[in-house]
Amino acid sequence: MSEGKNGIEAFIAGLPKAELHVHHVGSASPRVVAELAARHRGQSKVPTDPAALAEYFTFTDFAHFIEVYLSVVDLIRDAEDVRALTYGVAEDMARQQIRYAELTITPYSSVSRGIPDVAFMEAIEDARKSAEKDLGVVLRWCFDIPGEAGLAAAEETARLAVDLAPEGLVSFGLGGPEIGVPRPQFKPYFDRARAAGLHSVPHAGESTGPETVWDALRVLGAERIGHGTQSVKDPSLMDWLGEHRIPLEVCPTSNLATRVVERIEEHPLKQMVDAGLLVTINSDDPPMFGTDLNTEYAVAARLLDLDETGVAGLAKNAVEASFLDTPGKARLAAEIDTYLAGWDKG
């Protein structure tokens, strides 16, 4: 490892950051998952010790990832599980100098398993307020439709987002597998969420091609794209994304873990940046993919051959692409600039 690389990793570790694409249950660290598994021992196939969990989290393909993910979802049984998970995720963010995160939550998974909807909202809001007060981590929510669960799940997610909208909710999303789950069928639910003032941030162009991204933009009114990595296959889409400054939430290690790319060197990140797109770096389901946001920034720095100024630029892209208000954006961007200036002085 070169001295330069050590330097950039130290820079990243202290850099104030925003994260825009990270899943609630998928952020549960092995410690939190082991605790939940132990609490519900005998009712789940998820191992309870961290070493066995690491092995359990080694995926063969995207379908296998979804299967493991859902088995962890099944460990969230009551409001206290929800609160503990959410606060635990914020603690891991604070350790990485993440100041602001839009956490993607799938309330349908918990509510359909019997957690009362109002108790669920109270649990996440309680964790959000504690995280901001105790840890200085500002959390906002994106409620997403689990695409694999069909239109009943979409209807319920829209109801929860519109009728019970917790204070921290800013956006509406769509996750799960893309293959066999066409985006346009979700239009009525996105229409309702957008009419209620929520931003549209569906996953698209992760495991299927650029036409899924076009659907997300044209049919679901996407303001940001979750992943969108397959956009590089369509030059006219790349032009459109650049012209309209639609941010992409890129998650390099996730794409490797789910075998969307075979080798990290084949990741289209550089192509997207070279085309002038507004690219943000994110961790998706970090402990499940053996990563965290700092590691993703280091991967991006290597793929893009960035110095400290370049890495700070990526962090500022996330601030720009966030749904923070204007003063909040200015504050966080200034914090990044101050950190960079201090680092340059040595």
Helix (H) or strand (E) holding 49: none
Q: Tell the smallest beta-carbon distance from residue 157 to Zn ion (Å).
A: 15
Q: Tell the smallest beta-carbon distance from residue 237 to Zn ion (Å).
A: 20
3 state DSSP class of 204: strand
Which CB, 182 or 328, lies closer to Zn ion? 182
Q: List beta partners, residue 226.
A: 203, 249
Measured between alpha carbons, how far is 214 from 201 in angstroms, rounded to an integer?
A: 13
Q: Tell the smallest beta-carbon distance from residue 39 to Zn ion (Å).
A: 26
The CA radius of gyration of the chain, in Å to the nearest whole number, is 19
Measured between alpha carbons, how far is 316 from 329 in angstroms, rounded to an integer?
A: 9
- Under a CB-based contact definition with an 8 Å cutoff, are residues 226 and 249 in contact? yes
Q: List beta partners, residue 250.
A: 281
Measured between alpha carbons, how far is 190 from 179 in angstroms, rounded to an integer?
A: 20
Q: Tell the smallest beta-carbon distance from residue 202 to Zn ion (Å).
A: 10
Looking up tokens 């995720």, which residue turns up? 89
Which CB, 156 or 249, lies closer to Zn ion? 249
Stretch that binds Zn ion, among 157-165, 177-185, 281-289, 337-345 (CB under 5 A): 281-289
Q: Tell the smallest beta-carbon distance from residue 113 to Zn ion (Å).
A: 21
Measured between alpha carbons, how far is 110 from 114 in angstroms, rounded to an integer?
A: 7
Residues 216-235 interacting with Zn ion (rule: CB under 5 A): none
Which CB, 81 or 284, lies closer to Zn ion? 284
Residue 284 engages Zn ion in binding (rule: CB under 5 A)? yes
Residue 144 engages Zn ion in binding (rule: CB under 5 A)? no
Stretch that binds Zn ion, among 7-15, 146-154, 265-273, 284-292 (CB under 5 A): 284-292
Which CB, 178 or 284, lies closer to Zn ion? 284
Which CB, 24 or 308, lies closer to Zn ion? 24
206 is an active site residue: yes
Which CB, 102 or 284, lies closer to Zn ion? 284
Residue 296 engages Zn ion in binding (rule: CB under 5 A)? no
Residues with Cβ < 8 Å from 122, sequence gap 6 or more? 79
Q: Tell the smallest beta-carbon distance from residue 203 to Zn ion (Å).
A: 5
- Given 125, 156, 206, 249, the catalytic residue: 206
Task: From residue 31, give the alpha-carbon distance in Å to each of 48, 53, 85, 191, 298.
Answer: 9, 10, 10, 39, 24
The answer for 306, left when phi > 0, alpha when psi is -120 to 50, beta otherwise, is beta
Ranked by CB distance to Zn ion, the top (closest) residue is 284
Which CB, 20 or 278, lies closer to Zn ion? 20
Measured between alpha carbons, how far is 257 from 250 in angstroms, rounded to an integer?
A: 14
- Which runs of E-coded beta strand occur in 228-334? 248-250, 279-281
Measured between alpha carbons, how far is 266 from 234 in angstroms, rounded to an integer?
A: 17
Measured between alpha carbons, how far is 34 from 53 in angstroms, rounded to an integer?
A: 8
Number of shown-chain residues binding Zn ion (CB under 5 A): 1
Residue 156 engages Zn ion in binding (rule: CB under 5 A)? no
Q: Tell the smallest beta-carbon distance from residue 285 to Zn ion (Å).
A: 7
Stretch that binds Zn ion, among 43-51, 110-118, 140-148, 279-287 (CB under 5 A): 279-287
- Under a CB-based contact definition with an 8 Å cutoff, are residues 59 and 257 in contact? yes
Residues with catalytic function: 206
* Residues of this chain that bind Zn ion (CB under 5 A): 284
